[in-house]
Amino acid sequence: MEKMDVSGYAAMLGLFAEMVWDEAIRKQKEQTLYREIDSALARGDEQTFIALAQQWKELHS
């Protein structure tokens, strides 16, 4: 197996870091939406619930 040069290794690490960062952002958005959806339900705010539910669906598609 060939050894990876330093620039290739750095590129792989950068890609991995970006993937981890993207996943962390997605999870944060998911948690925020979950709390906002729960709050809209508790208030009986149907319009906000529908809008947030649509965002939730888009996040998971």
Gap between the Cα atoms of 28 and 25, Å rounded:
5
pTM above 0.95, yes or no: no
Q: Tens-digit pLDDT profile for the chain (61 aa)?
A: 566 688 888 999 999 999 999 999 999 999 999 999 999 999 999 999 999 999 999 998 8
SS (H, E, C) the chain: CCCCCHHHHHHHHHHHHHHHHHHHHHHHHHHHHHHHHHHHHHHCCHHHHHHHHHHHHHHCC
